[in-house]
Structure 1
């Protein structure tokens, strides 16, 4: 009790720091939660414009504008009553040390997975997905990926720290099964011999949307019970709707189509997710950050299982 004579209802206490105002918990390993949000402020592996290290804070900040909806349209349930979600803040690593970041992110993920939790991570550049896949592969054995991007990130780079080479390394390390993996929105040079199924942006533009949804669903269903890791590089979207990114490519998806594609993944066994490459310094009126936060919110709705 306080001087006003009543016990405060702490469920009404809010903040603008956690994603969607979810509670902040800096020791997430022992807390009762289904999904843990982690920011990874890292952009040392970028080949374009730097600045995505500020992505996690920008996504969190703009997400407060999405927190007021009890039922997010077009879903018919309250996410907070279906999933226990916490935000553990940003990963701490030695400044300027890419290997230290990689080691600590993988260890963080392994600890969360071993305690029965799943992860939604915010980049940072797309390199962060590689240490996450290493942790996930240890826990689930080989995974398949659902990858939204303008680039395949399959470049055979001499550097192990390159956001454009992460799936080249993931395949070589046998972390993922490319035969059950799909890449959506690609519109840069790609090698179709890498065994990924590629649905490029031009095909999407010419395709009836309902046929596209069914085609993606049919392919993913063919994987059976394989667990999927879902990764969304914000440059999958066209720069007209998402200018705030390091390597923008014209001719991309618009937010409505991207969200509808995501919403049609509810049948998949998605065990991990990330949204990467938001670089707020190049953004306009926070539209890229808002797109990323909206995509992340729909991702969380997609993984709800009744």
Structure 2
């Protein structure tokens, strides 16, 4: 296929970016990876996810039974301040503020903080959070970097952007200091390890997610390293023992009825990918999120 790469060919078969002035549902890329602590390269994630998404538009979604690209506007990439993390986060927040419902392709996980800042302002208060990851991302800093990709939800909780009692993390399995884990649990966060997903099954975990976030607005943040590196090698901080792609897909399909107000897909680093399997997994999981939304949102 030819043309400018847009997500799910939104804007037409040739993938011409459609810049609606006020889209009901927008997708944007954030080519940002200067807050990583291990392997860089997630700045190339948005383009890789968009290209892989072209595999997913030869028919309607098999569960939602509709064209997921209908009404979706790919707004291109957000601007960042090269080499400046705080300035980049401020820029991201300003650009995200203008969208009613935003699906974001990252980029490292630090972008979740300004996206949540914009969303909390738009919602008039904190939101629930469904967080897929290998890591808790609630460290007070990331190896001395105050706003690193491992600290986004520490700041989100401290700033009152998310209601920690309505926050659930799925797939957690990395080493973590006891004081960080205790602080996270002490805020009211629910943690579901990857091993618990394997042992309890996706239906039980999906129900646990729904009961935790309730009916109020919630945000989905999906770090691709929630998947086992066998299924997603193209990421900066891989951890073995993670979710299989079918588990992640089934979990998302089990979240019908959750009042989602936005999403990010982060930490896709295509330089470490093989045969685009990480990018394809990311694109497919974004489509599963789109399938959860009411038509014409």
Q: Normalized against structure 2, the TM-score is what?
A: 0.90
Unaligned 5+ segments in structure 2 are none
Match of residue 145, structure 1, among 108, 115, 129: 129
1:15 and 2:3 matched: yes
Counterpart of 1:197 in structure 2 is 190
Q: For residues 284 and 172 of structure 1, do their structure 2 counterparts lie closer, same or farther at Cα, with a shift above 3 Å needed?
A: same
The alignment's C-alpha RMSD in Å is 1.8
Give 1:195 deviation, angstroms: 1.5
Counterpart of 1:215 in structure 2 is 208
Q: Is 2:6–2:17's contact at 8 Å kept on the other side of the alignment?
A: no
Q: Normalized against structure 1, the TM-score is what?
A: 0.87
Counterpart of 1:186 in structure 2 is 172
Match of residue 158, structure 2, among 167, 172, 182: 172
Q: How many residues align?
A: 282
Unaligned 5+ segments in structure 1 are 1-12
Which deviations, in whole Å up to 9, do the C-alpha atoms of 1:82-134 show, x marking residues without a partner? Answer: xx11001111223222223211111111122xxxx210001100000000111
Counterpart of 2:261 in structure 1 is 271
Counterpart secondary structure, 2:221: strand
Tell which structure's C-alpha radius of gyration is larger.
Answer: 1
Alignment of 1:22-171 (within 5 A): 22-23=10-11, 24-25=16-17, 27-28=19-20, 30-31=21-22, 33-69=23-59, 71-81=60-70, 84-112=71-99, 117-140=100-123, 141-157=125-141, 158-171=144-157
Alignment of 1:292-303 (within 5 A): 292-303=282-293
Counterpart secondary structure, 2:102: strand
Q: In structure 2, what is the Cα distance between the partners aligned to 1:121 and 1:209?
A: 25
Q: In structure 1, what is the Cα distance between the partners aligned to 2:62 and 2:158?
A: 40
Q: In structure 1, what is the Cα distance between the partners aligned to 2:295 and 2:10?
A: 20
Q: Is 2:81–2:87's contact at 8 Å kept on the other side of the alignment?
A: yes
Match of residue 291, structure 1, among 258, 276, 281: 281
Which deviations, in whole Å up to 9, do the C-alpha atoms of 1:164-202 show, x marking residues without a partner? Answer: 011111111111100011111101223332310111111
Which deviations, in whole Å up to 9, do the C-alpha atoms of 1:13-48 show, x marking residues without a partner? Answer: 9735111111254754x24x2211110000000011
Counterpart of 1:10 in structure 2 is none
